[in-house]
Amino acid sequence: MPEPTPEVPQPLKGLRVVEFTHMVMGPTCGMVLADMGAEVIKVEPVAGENTRRLLGAGAGFFPMFNRNKKSIGLDLHNAEGVELARRLCATADVVAENFKPGTMVKYGLDYDSLARTNPKLIYASHKGFLPGPYDHRTALDEVVQMMGGLAYMTGRPGDPLRAGSSVNDIMGGLFGAIGVLGALVQRGITGKGMEIQSALYENNVFLVGQHMLQFAMTGKHPAPMPARISPWAIYDVFSVGNGEEQIFLAAVSDAQWRGFCDALGFADLKAEPELATNNQRVEQRPRLLKTLGERLRHRSASELASLMEKAGLPFAPIRKPEDLYDDEHLLATGGLADMTLPDGPKAGEKVKTTLFPITMEGQRLGVRLDPPRLGEHSRELLAGLGLADAEIDELRAKAIVA
């Protein structure tokens, strides 16, 4: 008989999370907890979270960061809707939010208000800035990338450029989830909850901390990445295939340099005394890169990838995001999972989504629940609070519940 498929670990099973979140940062925190087995309840406006309707670069936000969650629609501008939200929070282990400072206080859904009746509550607040002189400002990922040095380091000199993903939003949510996990351990010891805060700006500063310390160590201003002084001579993108392809190649040690020369047939470069050590090659980098560019230009990316892989050397084809759907490693290891789209012109269609990049007991944490339709779980959740079907129907008729 075949071996039974092992059950995917759910270390947070039994934990209830209520989230008042939108866009990317807060939903990422909830997604991490949901992927690890928590019951995550997304409280949305009765018209639905606006992220469901974004176009262009925002079209993937909702389905990416809201899998494994339940949805309830509540009108928080209505006293009955707010009371239902408070009752829901009273059943929660964790509440997460990412609205402007003061918003949750206005509805009595802030940590101090909720903790009075639920002292075990862990409250994860995601903001633009931690409390201080900037905390009144409206922050976006791009805002903090510009003011926090990341855009400066990413773009060419004089041309700051935001990173090609919502790095601060996503990592801010990850740090929020890390804080929740730490608070859960502390609660297991003391029996008390706590408020934790994660912020876009401080997250961004953490990301560029290596460059701040580079300046502290050397006294020299860090150059943007495209103009940086590389610590390695061979660490670059090369135009190959007669200029129609690109590939990243690297050799970051003397042993790798010798292997690089052997794999590509560059015995003459291997024999040059002034290229023998890494620091010597860095000093010769402009000349070396020009020589390599000329020699590699007519070779194909696939040939070079094969040679580098056989030699155990670092390399990378230059890909677009959509190319990853056909990536043999992701397909073979279960790194992509099926889910059904909840909204938009392709609502109801199955697509592949990326999973949280860890394994537990050798298994990936999959999609248990598709990203929810607006209010898909409202009746179930309100019934759990003791409301009868007739009461729920009345609340829906009054547009207090979706």
Judge contact between 70 and 40, C-beta under 8 A: yes
Q: In this structure, are 26 and 158 located in the same domain?
A: yes
In a domain, 223, yes or no: no
pLDDT in tens, the chain (402 residues): 445 557 899 999 999 999 999 999 999 999 999 999 999 999 999 999 999 999 999 999 999 999 999 999 999 999 999 999 999 999 999 999 999 999 999 999 999 999 999 999 999 999 999 999 999 999 999 999 999 999 999 999 999 999 999 999 999 999 999 999 999 999 999 999 999 999 999 999 999 999 999 999 999 999 999 888 888 999 999 999 999 999 999 999 999 999 999 999 999 999 999 999 999 999 999 999 999 999 999 999 999 999 999 999 999 999 999 999 999 999 999 999 999 999 999 999 999 999 999 999 999 999 999 999 999 999 999 999 999 999 999 999 999 999
Q: In this structure, are 180 and 294 located in the same domain?
A: no
Q: In this structure, are 140 and 186 located in the same domain?
A: yes
Q: In this structure, are 136 and 183 located in the same domain?
A: yes
From 359, 41, 25, select the one nearest 177 (Cα to Cα): 25
* Residue 390: burial class (beta carbons within 10 Å; 0-12, 13-18, 19+): exposed
Number of domains in the chain: 2
Judge contact between 70 and 37, C-beta under 8 A: no
From 26, 27, 33, 29, select the one nearest 11 (Cα to Cα): 33
Whole-model pTM?
0.93
Token pair 């075990």: residue: 120
The C-alpha R_g of the chain, in whole angstroms, comes to: 26
The pairing of beta strand 94-97 with beta strand 16-20: parallel
H or E element: which one contains 69?
Answer: strand 69-73
Q: In this structure, are 389 and 287 located in the same domain?
A: no
In a domain, 162, yes or no: yes
In a domain, 107, yes or no: yes
Q: In this structure, are 384 and 254 located in the same domain?
A: no
- CATH classification at residue 129: 3.40.50.10540
In a domain, 286, yes or no: yes
- CATH classification at residue 287: 3.30.1540.10
Q: Select from 293, 321, 349 the last residue of a domain.
A: 321
Q: In this structure, are 243 and 289 located in the same domain?
A: yes
In a domain, 215, yes or no: no
From 67, 33, 75, select the one nearest 354 (Cα to Cα): 67
Q: In this structure, are 170 and 288 located in the same domain?
A: no
In a domain, 219, yes or no: no
Q: In this structure, are 353 and 379 located in the same domain?
A: yes
Q: Select from 321, 356, 377 the last residue of a domain.
A: 321
DSSP E strand boundaries for 160-286? 194-199, 234-240, 245-251
Q: In this structure, are 306 and 387 located in the same domain?
A: no
With vertex at residue 17, the alpha carbon angle to CA 13 and CA 22, rounded to the nearest 5 degrees, is 130
Could you list the residue range(s) of the whole structural domain that residue 104 is in? 16-208+328-397
In a domain, 9, yes or no: no
In a domain, 225, yes or no: no
Q: Select from 321, 352, 373 the last residue of a domain.
A: 321
* Alpha-carbon gap, residue 30 to 317, rounded angstroms: 33
Q: In this structure, are 197 and 251 located in the same domain?
A: no
Q: In this structure, are 62 and 179 located in the same domain?
A: yes
- Measured torsion, CA atoms of residues 387, 393, 399, 402, in degrees rounded to the nearest 10: 70
Sequence-distant (≥ 6) Cβ neighbours of residue 380 within 8 angstroms: 70
